[in-house]
Amino acid sequence: MTLAEPVAAQAPLVQRLLDGLAAIGADPPGITREAYGRGENEAQALAAAAGAALGLAATTDAGANLSLRWAGRDPAAPPVLIGSHLDSVVQGGNFDGAAGVVAGLAAIAALQAAGLRPRCDIEVLALRCEEAVWFGLGLIGSRCLPARLPPGALDLRHARSGKTLAESISARGGDPTRLRQGTPLRDPARLGAYLEVHIEQAPQLVEAGAPVAICLANPGNVRHPFIRIAGEDAHTGLPHRFRRDAALAGADLMLALERLWLEEEAAGRPMVVTIGRFHTPAERHSLTMVSGRFELSLDLRAYSADHLAALEARLAAIVAEVAARRGVRIDLGERSAAAPGPMDPAIIEGLAAAAAQAGLPGQRLNSPGSHDANNFAASGVPTGMLLVRNRNGSHNPDEAMETGDLMAAIAVLVHWLAARTA
């Protein structure tokens, strides 16, 4: 029996899990699975039940991440982790993150159906709170494992419940006291590999007509969720030379950042600028007032730590120039960062060989998004990712991954695991 048959046999399991996750998160017109809330908790329970049916051992770590472990033949062999997240943005889609957890479970089911048992443990991880919408900080579950939570993270408050991250973790069986020690929950040097399957968040695979691609790198990011500009409220008739207009300063800042983006791309240095929030304060703005206050958010992304550092330096210069020219103060406020995630060259080649065995093209792409894989790669764990074709982008109700495309990614994953863990 080839691996194609046991992989194909998992299609009903995959569809049942995807449908179950959609029912848990149903929030018309989209999907909401709140981190550390009902949606994420019930999704973890669904994954745990599927793992139990496969004979996997379930444990919860200090960050309240769920691990489903299939014991290998050699307990001393470094384990292979397959992970992703189950939370979503508010009224997003069903597949961002969750497809990767489903893929891990289906891959183990396929290997079991093929009569194979791995040399090392294989673990499926359902990582907590990948989406930054809940605490203003993303990748929280995967930050916990290698002790990459930034200072003060456990005191951040949940956007809905108002609980601190420490309180949220404790309520779900985690141990924030252990996290405050700042030592890894898992020693990166003792992990054999981390693999993640994730929907693509750009239409590159739709454009290429390919169901799956091997990821080359994920960008890191620097985020400022609450940039505040302070100028001076004034009458709308005030001549230009007297104005300290915070709204125009915000516009200047945004356009200067776009010019930076285009310059960097033209020079062959891929990056992204995103302004998510951009507004005068709703309680103060008026048709007949020059606004002395303005707020925006900023997400800068690039594929190397050096490039991110250079972009931050450029950001500081742009902020100083705009503030001086407009006569305003610009406070960048809170800062969070995620390290870039270059994929392991040996895993990239191994996944390419696995794709060939599965009869699939070995398309190779950068991911436009930061993922939990970033934290493993930044900690020295050999890391790989597969990107699954997905129409209409992500973080919206119109995510449109086809189950057949996820099955293609599972086939690549199974062939890689069979070779890697023989």
Which domains does the chain possess? 4-219+340-420 (3.40.630.10), 220-338 (3.30.70.360)
Helix (H) or strand (E) run with residue 384 in it: strand 383-388
Give the C-alpha separation, 71 to 421, whole Å.
12
Q: What is the mean pLDDT of residues 369-385?
A: 95
**Predicted TM-score of the model (pTM):** 0.88
pLDDT digits (tens, 9 = 90+) for 399-421: 999 999 999 999 999 999 999 99
Give the C-alpha separation, 274 to 201, whole Å.
14
Q: What's the pLDDT at 35? A: 98
Give the C-alpha separation, 145 to 130, whole Å.
13
Tokens of 397: 């109700």
Query: Following CA atoms 340, 346, 351, 354 in sequence, which dihedral angle do they give, to the nearest 10 degrees?
Result: -170
Q: What's the pLDDT at 40? A: 98
pLDDT digits (tens, 9 = 90+) for 103-146: 999 999 999 999 999 999 999 999 999 999 999 899 999 999 99
Q: Cis omega (within 30 of 0) on the bond before 29?
A: yes
pLDDT digits (tens, 9 = 90+) for 190-209: 999 999 999 999 899 999 99
Q: What's the pLDDT at 285? A: 87
pLDDT digits (tens, 9 = 90+) for 261-318: 999 999 999 999 999 999 999 888 899 999 999 999 999 999 999 999 999 999 999 9
